[in-house]
Amino acid sequence: IVLIVFGLIIVITRTSAAENSSGTASSAFLGKLLVVPMDGSHWVGVKALAQEMGRRGHRVTVVIPEVSIRMGPGKHYETVTYPVPYDKAYVDSVMASHIDVIKKTAQSFTEKIKNRFAQIQKITSLIHTGAESLLFNDSLISHLAQQGFDAVLTDPMVPTGSLVAWKLGLPTINLLRGIPCFMDVKSAGCPSPPSYVPRFFTGYTDKMSFKERTVNTLVALLEPLMCRLLYWHFDNIAYQFLGEEVGIAEVLSESAIWLMSIHTSLDYPVLKFTHTRTHTITSEKVFFAVLIVSCH
Ligand SMILES: *[C@@H]1O[C@H](CO)[C@@H](O)[C@H](O)[C@H]1NC(C)=O
Ligand SMILES: *[C@@H]1O[C@H](CO)[C@@H](O)[C@H](O)[C@H]1NC(C)=O
């Protein structure tokens, strides 16, 4: 098995030329797509894809919480919202103090760690509450089950959409930048030897010195533990929601398609190959490029 990058499949440009041009309902098949997006910067790419699918004549339904950082209605898709037990002021205050924590430098080291940790806890509890508000809203879930969707598009970093897809027995299309503990790579069945594949946050490329490779290997060894910590609560949610003994890793490994989005502004160093491609597209003012990754 080799990691095969099939190439740049979908390229969405910032220019609005696509708005009016070719490509409407290019094929006979018009499907129904359910989109369960993730908030924040992750929303941008999923929204672009949802709009484009809708523009091509597919029926696209985006399910979002009533309160979010930036998610909302858009062109060519329908929006379904669900109530959450927090308000916009709370979300804004969490995000504002998030920025404060990053900026503040006149604190002692332990003070900083303490604040940072409290901050991360607030954000993850917001994410968990949001997910539970959708998954444990029985009337909404059964409404979605009746719609006869063909597939689910989601960002599995927050696996709410993946759980909905599993429950409804639908294939999942993932659009993501990556999961810090490499769960995406493992779930997709991709080999990721630490001597060659750089880990998240290390900033390395596929050409590493001996020292870099050692550090990379140590980070790789910590990944199973990181995944446990990151998805601990979601594993419990999965068990309650699905009523079966399945964890997030297992749910993700059933995904049909993995689309890796390479943001030019974030410059995620995957492999040298995609690195080079990313630079090529930057000059063409491309907002983001998507790679289909298949390891089977
Ligand atoms: C849309 O396309 C039509 C015909 O192709 C053209 O006449 C029109 O100017 C276009 N509108 C925009 C906003 O580009
Ligand atoms: C479930 O979501 C619907 C909207 O989609 C909402 O009307 C209803 O109140 C929600 N139910 C619960 C229990 O929150």
Confidence (pLDDT) at 280: 35
Q: Which two tokens stand for residue 241?
A: 């929601």
Please report whether residue 30 resides in a domain: no
Please report whether residue 22 resides in a domain: no
Please report whether residue 29 resides in a domain: no
**What is the distance in A from the centroid of ligand 2 to the CA of 85?**
11
CB 181 within 8 A of CB 226: yes
Confidence (pLDDT) at 59: 96
Q: Residue 143 sits in which domain range?
A: 4-16+36-294
Please report whether residue 27 resides in a domain: no
**Ligand 2: residue whose CA is nearest its atom 9:** 83
Report the chain's terminal Cα–Cα distance, integer Å. Answer: 6
**What is the distance in A from the centroid of ligand 1 to the CA of 125?**
47
Strand 257-263: give its sheet, edge to edge. 4-13, 286-294, 257-263, 172-176, 151-154, 32-36, 59-65, 78-82
Please report whether residue 236 resides in a domain: yes
Helix (H) or strand (E) holding 81: strand 78-82
**What is the distance in A from the centroid of ligand 2 to the CA of 133?**
9
Give the predicted TM-score (pTM) of the model.
0.79
Q: Which residues contact 4 (CB under 8 A, 6 or more apart)?
A: 293, 294, 295
Confidence (pLDDT) at 114: 84
Please report whether residue 113 resides in a domain: yes
**Ligand 2: residue whose CA is nearest its atom 4:** 82
CA distance 134 to 119: 23
C-alpha closest to that of 247 among 236, 256, 259, 257: 236
> Is the distance from the beta carbon of residue 124 to the nearest atom of ligand 2 less than 6 Å?
no
**What is the distance in A from the centroid of ligand 1 to the CA of 17?**
9
> Is the distance from the beta carbon of residue 97 to the nearest atom of ligand 2 less than 6 Å?
no
Of 137, 142, 143, 147, which is best to mutate to test ligand 2, by the most ligand atoms within 8 angstroms of its C-beta? 137
C-alpha closest to that of 127 among 156, 160, 96, 155: 160
CA distance 63 to 82: 8
Q: Which atom of ligand 2 is nearest to the CA of 83?
A: 14
Confidence (pLDDT) at 293: 61
Looking at the CA of 24, name the nearest ligand: 1
Backbone phi, then psi, for 224, in 5-degree steps?
A: -55, -40
Q: How many domains does the chain have?
A: 1
Please report whether residue 160 resides in a domain: yes
Q: What is the pLDDT along the chain (296 residues), one digit of tens a residue?
A: 223 333 333 333 333 344 444 555 555 688 999 999 999 888 988 998 899 999 999 999 999 999 999 999 999 999 999 999 999 999 999 888 777 766 666 677 788 788 888 888 899 999 999 999 999 999 999 999 999 999 999 999 999 999 999 999 999 999 888 888 989 888 887 778 888 888 877 878 778 899 999 999 999 999 999 999 999 999 999 999 999 999 999 999 999 988 877 654 444 444 433 333 333 333 333 345 556 666 65
CB 40 within 8 A of CB 70: yes
CATH classification at residue 261: 3.40.50
> Is the distance from the beta carbon of residue 79 to the nearest atom of ligand 2 less than 6 Å?
no
**Ligand 2: residue whose CA is nearest its atom 12:** 137
Please report whether residue 25 resides in a domain: no
Strand partners, 224: none
